[in-house]
Structure formats: structure tokens, C-alpha cells
Structure 1
Amino acid sequence: MEANISNNATLSIFFRYSIAQLHEKFAPTAAAIDQSVTPILYFIGILTNPLSAYIWLSRNTRKNNSSAIYLGTLSISHFTFLILHIFVELNYAWGVKTYNDYISCEIFNVVYYIPQYLAPLLVLSFTVERYIAICFPFSKEKYCTVHRAIMVIVGLSVLSVLLCIIQAYFWTYDPRKQDCNHRPEAVEGEQASILSIWTWISELLIFGILPLAALVFNVLVIMEIRSLTAGGPAYMSSGGGQAASTITLLCVSFYLICTWLPATVVYSLQQAIHIGSEYLTDDQIAADSTWKGYFTYYIVRKIVEEITLSNSACYFFIYYITGKHFREETKMILGINKCCKRPAKNSGLSDYQTVSKAKNITNGNSYATNV
């Protein structure tokens, strides 16, 4: 029975297989990566992003610390994206229908794109803020404030929603494939279609130009830090919290660049990749050069997608490694300090010295950044 269906050239391949079954049969490497690596990233991101958001947005951390507002919002955005991505993964990797229906296709794709667009905008925003704080310190009190950060985040959120509304026009339910698909009128003209033009513009802007702009600002920040520290450790001693914050934000920004730019290149090629005839037997599909090109592209895309997905799951480790305040807060919440705390010797003298040093530090720095 299976052989008869497999060799029946009159049946569309989309009738014989679901999208997940099609990729599992002809691109098993991509299916294996999808079904093994992605759940691990879900586990990491869904556990750590709420913890990161809680620490960054806690009263002690966000006080006089606009960077914490950006990072806390970024953690919420990543958590939201991972939850939405689960529905996509169930559909394409496991063949479980989730949002595949009339109206829900349009709504889901609008909501699904919002956190993806918001994340690079947030990273660029706090990169620019750090650039102002380092390169124009006298403007810091005016532009690098918690209130301004909140206003910027609200504006970026509205912008992301406006950019994503058009996805409701691009996507619709395809009863023939029993899946969400691009609306026929949106793809008329192929490379000159409104979908192709919008994809090129939006993908290159959000996932190409914005990360490159962040890279430029990062380079300028690094150059300024080098010039400040050329004469000695004055910068580090006068603003240790600011230096730690700068290191954290630079790492976050560079990680975004390294994970998003490859995805931008791959997705930009998507419009040039075509599938072969859907009315071929399995053997013909396996030998067809057009289909082989598509499946090769799909495997590469899946590898890049996993790297990009790690961007939404693994920032916690950057925060923990580079930020002393974040590390201490994490240990306190998880109870690590209580389990691993060693009894102090000469506690009376040590406490006195610690308090004295703390007072000196507090009096010496009127503005500190908790990272």
C-alpha cells in the first residue's frame, strides 16, 4: 500500500506527506537537528529568561540603571518568542497541528514576528545608550535614565507591532496543504511580489543593518574605553559598576551580531530557493536537482536556525559570567550561597573592614550601575 502511494505520480507530495514527514523523509539530518537540539534550547531559555527578567527588573537592580530595563525587557521578549516557537516547532518538526486554521494563521504570524523584531531593536538601543554614557559622559544624566529607557521600549514595542501587522496579509490557511501558507496574491510576480520586496527590506533592516549598526557603536565604545584606560586604571577604579555593565552589554550585542547575521544571509536566499514539481514519485524527488537543492538549503537553514535560536535561550550565561551583581543575585535566589558559604575567620575585624571599604566606595561613586 505504501509503495503504491509512494510511486503514484498523480498524487501531490503535499497530499502524501505533511511538511514534517516530507522533511523527515528527504532531509533526515535537518529533522534530527530540529527534534534534538531545539528542545534543549527550550529547556534552557524557558527556565533562565524569567529568572533574568526578575533579577534585572527587581527594584534594587533597576534603580538608576537604565540598562537593566532594556535587559529585563529583552529577557521577556526572548521568553515570549520561545513559547511561540514551540507551536511552530510542533507543526513543522513533529507534524502536530497547532495554529493551522483560518484566522489563527494570520493572527499567530503577526504575534510570532513581534518579539523577533523587538529583540534587535532593544539591543541596538542599549548599545547606543552605552555609547552615549562612555563617549559623551556629560550627556549621560539626560539620555541614560530609567524613565527614558521605559519610553524608548514602549516606542520600540509599538514600532514592532506596526511592522508585523502586514504579516496578516501575507499569511493564510491553505486547505490543500492543510497548513499556513503565503497568500497567492502576496506572491504574485515572484521576485517582484510585495512579499519578496517586503521580506528583503525588513529582513535586511532588522536582522542585517541593525546588528551592523550595533557593531559600529560597539567598536566606538571599545576605542573610547582603550583611550580612557591608556593612562592607567583610572576608568576602572572610578566606575567599576559602569565598566562591568559595559562588558555585559558588549557581550550581549556581539552575541546578537554573531547569531543573527548568518540567519539574515540564509533567509535572504530563501526567495531564490524553489521546490521541484510536487507531482513526482519519491524516487524522482530524491533524484531531482531542484528538490535536492531545496533540501540542502533546508539542512543549512536548520543549522543556522538553531544557532539563532540560542540567542533567545543563552543570554543568562553571559549575564552570569560578566555581571557580578547578577551572579550574586542568582546565587541568592537559588540558595547557592547558603549551601557553599564558608565560615568566616576574624569576623569582627573583617566586617569592620568591609563596612569601611563599602562606605568609601559609596562616598566616592554617586552613580553606580548594578550588573
Structure 2
Amino acid sequence: MANNTTILDLSHLFYRYPSRTALLEEFAPAAPWAEKIVPPFWYFIGFLGNPISAAVWLSQRMRRNNSSAIYLGALSVSDLVFLVLHLMLVLHVAWGHDVYNAKISCEIFHFCFYVPQYLSVFLVLAFTAERYVAVCHPFLKEKLCTVQRAVIVVFVLLAFSLVLSSAQAYIWTFSAPEDSCNVRPEAAIGGDWSFWSVWTWVTDIFAFGLVPLAVLVFNVMVLREIFKISRKDALTRQHSQVNGTGGGRTNGGNSAASTVTLLSVSTYLIVTQLSATVVSCLNSNFPHGDFVMTDAQIRADPNWSSLFTYLEVRKIIEVICMSHFACYFFIYCITGKHFRKETLRLLTLNGKLPFLNSLVSRSRRKERYSMVSTNGGPTTDTYATNFSTTM
């Protein structure tokens, strides 16, 4: 009887491969390998770039009268927290280390894991909406684009992210019989209409689908307004030159360059986050085959073959698209003149390193800051254009 039970157990796929990782290593090996190889690159970049970005954006020089610096500093902190948690996830899932495989820690980890994911996309939406106000409604900029308001918005978004993530503490639980962290049986009752399935679909589509789309809409409106202003300024200069009235050099290029930083960050989020969301939503188009099959039958089965191919492609896309949690630092450096100067000042200990002291001092003598709004500060800190925020 025992032998018959053993044979029966081994005939079921999940008895032969009790963990998801073991199953993928056998039938979709590219997925676990991608999870082991690609994320370490993002960890290396993010563990260096995000702390530097946070230190620069949240420094007094950058955040003074600059509400966007508050959002970007908070984004850097959020992304750093996510990378730390993702490292724990990879160690647990891909490498088999029991990082959070215990009672209480299972629930706490999944609760914490979703908070920075939600917060990052909400922060990008927040400063993109602020950019829309600054460019398209400049007369409201002094009232709405303030440092104090930015701090309040960051804390509100953090609280909202905590509320959305709280359901994960119920959905996940440690199962002693399987000695693993699994979905709570009560949360999985009902199959596709279970609390776990419905909550995951609703929150993922909202946070990782609709929010990036809203960011895209704001970006389009900002770009349209910038092109409209640029065309109007060009016609004004042309008219002034024809009539011999001069027409001095404007700060439009300087100000537009600052807007490029925020637009680049939000566009990067749109491309990466929407790509990962779309490929995740295709999951229902790839049904699994019969669980009671031999390995050879599974490899020959079209349903299983399609599913495992999809899982490999999905994992590769997901680990590549998570780069936005690590690589904003490069965008800041490429598009932000003042960010580069402040980063250099930070890395050279405020110019105290002798061989770089002259370079830092020379850069700081030439620099001039341009903020989103004066926020009660001196008007000399602000360029007189409709879309000013030199980073």
C-alpha cells in the first residue's frame, strides 16, 4: 500500500517538484537563471546610485525652494528599499536560502515588499503632475508647487502605499506542513474569483497600469505646452530681429533642459513598468496542462510547452524592466547640470580632496540654481520662464 501511494504521489507534478523554483529549473531553466544573473547588476548600480541620489536631492542646497527635489529624494530612498527587499526575495526563491521562511516574517516581508513598489510609481505620478502644473498653469505654480506641499504629498502617498500593501499580510502566511511561505488557503478560495486573485488584479492594474498611463498623459500635455511656448518664443524673436528691436537670449533652453530630467525619469518608468505589467497580464492566455503527466509527456504537451516558454520570456522581461529601480542616477547625471555638480561636491567631500578642490570650487562659482518655485524665497533663485527647474 505504501509503494502504491508513493507511485501515485510521484505521478503528480507537484510531488516530483515541490517548489516553483525546482519546477522552473527543470522545464524553464532560463527563468531562474535570469533571476540569478541580471538583478545583481541592478543591485550594484542601485546600492551605489540611489544613496548618492538621495543625499544630493535631499541636501539643503538642492531642496531649498525646490519641491521636485523632495519627490526625487524620496524616490531614491524608496527604490533603494525595494532593491534590498528584492535581494532577499532572490536569495529566498532563486538560491534556496530561508530568508523569511518563518511565521510572522513571511507576512511582514510580503507586506513590506509591495510598499516601495507602489510608492515609487505614485511618486513619479506626483512630480509629473507637479510638472504639468508648473508648465501648463504657471500662475498656480507658486501656490501648488511648494516644498511644504511636496513633503505632505510624500507622506500621504506613503500612507496610501502602506494601506494597499496591508492586504499582503493576510494573503501570505507560513505553512508548517510544507515548511514554506504560501498563499493563505482562505484567501485562495474561489479560484479566479478568490480574494487573492481579485485583489492582485485590481491593485496591479491600478498601480502598475493606470498610474503609468496617467503619467504618460501628463507627459504628453507637458510636451505639447513646451512646443507651443517654444514656437511662440521663436516667432517673437524672429519678429524682433526683423523689426530691429533686438530680442536678447532667453533662458528657454536652460529651463527646458531641467524639464527633460523629470520627463526622462517618468518616461523610463512608463516604458519599463508598462512592459512588465502587460507581459504579466498575458498569464491567463497560457493555461497549464494536466498535472498527472510524466516529464516526457509534459515536454511534449503543447499547453505546458507554451506556458514554460511564456514564463521564461516573462521573467527575462521582468528582471530587465526592474532596472528603473536602479538606473535613475544615470538620468540625473546626463540631464542635470546642477545634480552633477552637487554629486561631484559630495564625492569629493565638499572639495576637500586637494587634487579635485580647484575643479569643485570652479564649478560652484559658475553655478546658478533654478527651482520649481520660489516658495517664499528670493526671486533671484528663479528663472522667468513658464517651465523652469534646472536640476
| 1:50-199 to 2 correspondences below 5 Å | 50-199=51-200
For residues 358 and 156 of structure 1, what CA distance do their matches in structure 2 show?
32
Scaled by the length of structure 1, the TM-score of the pair is 0.86
After TM superposition, the structure 1 stretch with the greater mean CA deviation from structure 2, 230-239 or 99-108, is 230-239
For 2:98, what is the secondary structure of its paired residue?
coil
SS in 2 for 1:97: coil
Give me the whole-angstrom Cα distance separating, in 2, the residues matched to 1:111 and 1:341: 41
The structure 1 residue matched to 2:304, chosen from 283, 287, 291, is 291
Contact 1:9 1:280 in 2 (8 A): no
Segment drifting more, 77-86 vs 15-24: 15-24
Q: CA shift at 1:200, angstroms?
A: 1.8
- Which residues of structure 1 form unaligned runs of 5+? 1-6, 345-349
Q: 2:288, 2:208 → 1: CA distance? A: 25
| Alignment: residue pair count | 356
Tell me the distance in 1 between the aligned counterparts of 2:57 and 2:313.
Answer: 35
Alignment of 1:161-310 (within 5 A): 161-232=162-233, 237-238=250-251, 242-270=255-283, 273-310=286-323
TM-superposed deviation, 1:165: 0.6
Q: Is the Cα contact below 8 Å between 2:348 and 2:356 reproduced in 1?
A: no
Q: Distance in 2 between matches of 1:47 and 1:343?
A: 25
Aligned twin of 2:373: none
- Cα offset for 1:273? 4.6
Report which stretch shifted further, 48-57 or 283-292: 283-292
Give me the whole-angstrom Cα distance separating, in 1, the residues matched to 2:42 and 2:206: 26
Contact 1:106–1:172 (8 Å) recurs in 2: yes
The equivalent position to 1:367 in structure 2, one of 377, 382, 388, is: 382
Question: Which residue is 1:329 aligned to?
Answer: 342
Q: Deviations over 1:86-143 (max 9, x none)?
A: 1111122112221122222211111100000011110010000000001111110100
Q: AA paired with 1:199?
A: T
Aligned partner of 1:10 in structure 2 is 9
TM-score normalised by length of structure 2: 0.82
Distance across 1 between alignment mates of 2:259 and 2:163: 31
The alpha carbon displacement at 1:332 in A equals 2.6
Alpha carbons of 1:270 and 1:10: their partners in 2 closer, same or farther (altered >3 Å)? same
Aligned mates of 1:110, 1:364 — CA distance in 2:
45
Relative distance call for 1:271 and 1:261 in structure 2 (3 A) is same
Q: 1:292 to 1:67 in 2, by over 3 A?
A: same
**CA deviation after TM superposition for structure 1 residue 265, in Å:** 1.4
Percent of paired sites with the same residue: 48
CA distance in 2 between partners of 1:149 and 1:238 (Å): 26
Aligned to 1:37: 38
Q: Distance in 2 between matches of 1:174 and 1:299?
A: 27
- Deviation, 1:300, is 1.5
Contact 1:38–1:306 (CA under 8 A) maintained in structure 2: yes
SS of match in other structure, 1:172:
strand
* Letter of the structure 2 residue corresponding to residue 109 of structure 1: H
1:2-53: per-residue Cα shift (whole Å, max 9, x none)?
Answer: xxxxx96623544544433322222122222222111111111111100000
Is there any run of 5+ residues in structure 2 with no aligned partner, and where?
A: 1-5, 238-247, 370-377, 384-388
